[in-house]
Amino acid sequence: YAKRNDILIVKNYIDRAMTGTNDNREAFQQMLKDSDKRPWDYVLVYKLDRFSRNKYEMAIHRKHLKDNGIKILSAMENIPDSPEGILLESLLEGMNQYYSEELSQKTRRGLRETRLKGNYPGGRILFGYSIVDRKPTINEDEAIIIRNIFNDYANGKRLVDIGDELFSQGIVNDRLPKSVNNLYYMLQNERYIGIYHHPEKTYDNIFPPIVPKEIFDIVQKRIQANKYGKHVVDVDYLLKGKAYCGFCGKPLISYTGTSCNSTIYRYYKCRSIKKKTNCQFKAFRKEPLEKIVTDALIKLTTTEKNLNLLANKI
């Protein structure tokens, strides 16, 4: 189209595998921003629905480009530059939005019917299940592992020990990671007792239960007890909100660890560690760090000059 109409392509803006139903697209937004400098005269699209499938957003962005002296061209839709073209353009935009919303409605309806029939609702296959004839069925080899995890935790074993045991047995994989967070999520997943929650409805006909309800309930009680239990004590972290990382400048946060003999250790660590940055700060024991700061403050405030200043203030 560009060659046929003697148009020079100076830049491409591509948002791959992204819907045109909204304008939250990186390259699209960059195109709008660049248009303010008017580096080109046209925005050429394959079809208007590649620009937008929302009539309201289409009108806003078309106005934005028009104010910058830029016109939208469609390679596959022969829209004349005339009053009739305005009518045709509006018709095409309305049809694009109609087809988009109709497809979305049909998709939601299809997924709803899938759930009502007890078929697999999609997404990653949960560890412990296989899909047979579109329905989740219990994978007995994996289900034994799931039951053991629930039983071990219900009987008092720590998640970190359960994870280490799985790793030592060589049964850790991308569907069953050994991390405490993943095990914690697994132990609260009600699909293992046959319950699947969806915003529209709760289903009990999709996942056959792997774990007995009684064991699942014991596990939930222990999770809650550990969440608010005896290890949560009222401890003052004197430097909380006052100390910052010397490497990246982020605040230091409190952290508690427990040794294998149940001894509790308290630390300060950099907040950026949670975000997996390259900060070099290591966890620092609470008591020694607070003593270092307290000793420095005492030394600073007990000089003769500072004592006189304090006396005058009082």
Percent of the chain at pLDDT above 70? 79
Average pLDDT, the chain: 81
Average pLDDT on 51-79 reads 82
The H-assigned helical ranges of the chain are 26-35, 48-51, 55-67, 83-116, 140-154, 159-168, 180-187, 213-228, 286-301, 304-313
Note whether 61 and 51 are within 8 A (CB): yes
Residue 141 in this model has a pLDDT that exceeds 60: yes
pTM beyond 0.75: the answer is no
Average pLDDT on 106-116 reads 64
pLDDT tens digit sequence for 167-185: 888 887 777 866 778 888 8
Average pLDDT on 241-246 reads 88
CB under 8 Å to 112, separation ≥6 — which residues? 200
pLDDT tens digit sequence for 200-240: 778 888 889 999 999 999 999 988 877 654 444 456 788 98
Strands 42-45 and 71-74: parallel
pLDDT of residue 234: 55
Note whether 166 and 158 are within 8 A (CB): no
Residue 136 in this model has a pLDDT that exceeds 80: yes
pLDDT of residue 260: 57
Pull the structure tokens for residue 101: 């919303």
**More confident of the two residues 82 and 283:** 283
pLDDT of residue 220: 92
Cα–Cα distance for residue pair 9/41, rounded to 1 Å: 10
Least confident segment among 6-20, 51-65, 102-116, 144-158: 102-116
The single-letter code of the amino acid at 180 is: V
Q: Which residue has the tokens 């620092």?
A: 284
Q: What is the dihedral of CA 225, 228, 234, 236, to 10 degrees?
A: 120
**CATH annotation of 26-115:** 3.40.50.1390
Cα–Cα distance for residue pair 183/163, rounded to 1 Å: 8
Q: What topology is assigned to 129-228 in CATH?
A: Hect, E3 ligase catalytic domain fold (3.90.1750)
Asked if domains 26-115 and 129-228 share a fold, the reply is no
pLDDT of residue 261: 60
Note whether 250 and 279 are within 8 A (CB): yes
Question: For the chain, which residues make up each domain, given as ranges?
Answer: 26-115, 129-228, 252-313
Average pLDDT on 153-177 reads 83
Cα–Cα distance for residue pair 100/48, rounded to 1 Å: 13
Q: Which of 194, 196, 191 lies closest to 114 in space, CA to CA? A: 196
112 pLDDT tier (thresholds 50, 70, 90) = low
